[in-house]
Amino acid sequence: MKLFVGLGNPGAEYAFNRHNVGFMAVDAIAAAHGFPAWRKRFQGVAAEGKLGGEQVLLLKPQTYVNESGRSVGEAVRFYKLDISDVIVFHDELDLVPGKVRVKTGGGTAGHNGLKSLTAHLGNDYVRVRIGIGHPGAKELVQHWVLHDFVKFDQFWLEPLLGAIANAAPDLAQGANDQFQSFVAHAMHMEAEARDERPEPAPRKRLDAPSTEGEKPAAAEISLGSRLRRWFGS
């Protein structure tokens, strides 16, 4: 079994914070691959299903970011997982918005959620670093991460979450480089398509029916609708 952990803070007031992009990523995976409803487990909410033939538990700790390790540690002990089976989705200040990088181990870069995970698990879990950009000064970081994404972010965030969800089976199978390459290619194609659209062309809605052969899954419907409600569009 693989454990996919999204980092974020519980509660409606935090739902669209930049710090909650990890929650958004596992929500997108759950929706795109038909996972059952979330239920309370391991001091969080969890949903279990299959990705790429692998059994996967999605987990959103409800302990707040700074204490995420308590929830994740409980799940790891229950399933007797190796630390290498833990894949964590989190916001990354040191990557520009829309960029994703996958790494195993390394430093925490001041991220309190990662600090908590490392304290409870050790360091060699897989991190899916989702770029949110840096506000430019250290004293602005807390406000930046605990502030909502703005409407402009819709143009990269919606396709990014879709690409992460679509490529999630690669992560479950340990094909981390393939996952990263797929997401990068999807975002490159999205940027090219957006540049070619006449203004003010609306973006393709995620709740439009997919054409035959396209990779996006049907469960992106709820994700796209939620994003448009958040952005007020």
- Please identify which of the residues 19, 33, 90, 111 carries the catalytic annotation: 19
CB 160 within 8 A of CB 100: yes
Reading the block at residue 169, the tokens are 């089976």
pLDDT in tens, 29-45: 999 999 999 999 999 99
Q: What is the CATH number of the domain that holds 65?
A: 3.40.50.1470
3-state secondary structure of 197: coil
Tell me what the pLDDT averaged over the chain comes to: 87
33 has catalytic annotation: no
pLDDT at site 213: 38
pLDDT in tens, 54-101: 999 999 999 999 999 999 999 999 999 999 999 999 999 999 999 999
- Across the range 158-186, mean pLDDT stands at 96
Full-model pTM: 0.85
pLDDT at site 108: 80
Domain that holds residue 188: 2-231
Number of domains in the chain: 1
Q: Which of 86, 48, 50, 56 is nearest to 68 (CA)?
A: 86
pLDDT at site 194: 76
Res. 229: pLDDT tops 80: no
The CA distance from 150 to 17, in Å, is 10
pLDDT in tens, 104-133: 998 887 899 999 999 999 999 999 999 999
